Amino acid sequence: MIDQYELGIKNDFLKGKLSVNVTAYQIRNNNYAQTSPFQKDGVTPNNNANLKALIGKTLSRGVEVDIAGHPMAGLDVIAGYSYNNITIESTSGVAGGAVEGERLVGNPNHTANASVFYTLQQSALKGLKFGVGYYYIGQRFAGWNNTINQSQKYNRLISVPGFSTLDLSAGYSFRRFGVMAKVSNITNTYNYYVHENYSINPIPPTQFVGTVSYKF
């Protein structure tokens, strides 16, 4: 059973050239399921993501802000920010149960993104498009959430620092043809994507991608 409450406000400014949407929410999941740390025997480590364990109630509270703007012809601006704090609210309290108040693994408190694209409207290069994108993922935990009276004498949560990446792109469209080039993570930032269990994968390094398209 999930109890969800949302409150949102949306408004347009500058004669429709700027749109802002703000949403606050609270979500209570009364029977949260996540990948089980052990198989059915309760001893053998589990590598099957389809095998779930109920850890009790969780509480997610957050705010989302979305901004979209078209301040002038050919210029598009999009930005967003999200704060989400999801914690274990209450458990059985018995040995092997989750620890109340602990943040769930894999969930950053803060994420943000922003992108700006401009398409030339006049000149011989009309249709040429440039863009820049910024992405941020905040600190989060990898590993396993701790349990009551666990055999490990250490904190099973692994703190992973936040990171930012920057992308650049350029493209050109002429009639039915289009070409697009993109350089992602131009600063070659080194960090990780976090999943359940101790699954941690490096984010992609600097990459170049080019595409050619034709509309029939």
**What is the per-residue pLDDT across 97-113, written as a single tens digit (0 to 9) for each?**
788 889 988 899 999 99
Q: Which residue has the higher pLDDT, 31 or 124?
A: 124
Q: Radius of gyration of the chain from Cα atoms? A: 23
**What is the per-residue pLDDT across 61-82, written as a single tens digit (0 to 9) for each?**
999 999 999 988 889 999 999 9
Determine the pLDDT at residue 127: 83
| Contact by Cβ (8 Å): 211, 173 | no
**What is the per-residue pLDDT across 128-184, written as a single tens digit (0 to 9) for each?**
999 999 999 999 999 888 888 888 889 999 999 999 999 999 999 888 889 999 999
**What is the per-residue pLDDT across 9-44, written as a single tens digit (0 to 9) for each?**
999 988 889 999 999 999 988 766 666 665 565 556
Helices (H) and strands (E) in the chain, counts: 0, 13
Query: What is the spatial distance between Cα 83 and Cα 1, in angstroms, rounded to a whole number?
Result: 23
Q: What's this model's pTM, rounded to 2 decimal places?
A: 0.82
In this prediction, residues 177-195 reach a mean pLDDT of 93
pLDDT tier at 46 (50, 70, 90 boundaries)?
low
Determine the pLDDT at residue 14: 86
- Sorted by where each starts, the structural domains of the chain and their CATH numbers stand as 2-214 (2.40.170.20)
